[in-house]
Structure 1
Amino acid sequence: MWCIAPKEDAGFVCQMEAVLDVYKRPFDAEYPVVCMDETTKQCTREVQKPIPASPGQSERYDGEYERNGVAHLMVFYTPLESRRTVRIADNHASGEWAEGVRDLVENQYPHAKKITLVMDNLSTHSGASLYSNGTRISNHCSYI
Structure 2
Amino acid sequence: MPAGFSRLESPERLYALLEESDGVVVSCQWTPETTKLIGREAFAAMKPGAILVNVARGEIVDEEALIAALAAGKLRGAALDVYVGEFEHEPDRRLWDDERVLITPHISGGSDMRQHRGISLFCDNLRAYLDGRPLTNVVDWANGY
Q: Establish whether TM, by shorter chain, passes 0.5.
A: no
TM-score (norm 2): 0.27
TM-score (norm 1): 0.27
More strand, by proportion: 1
Whose RCO is larger (CA < 8 A, sep 6+)? 1
More helix, by proportion: 2
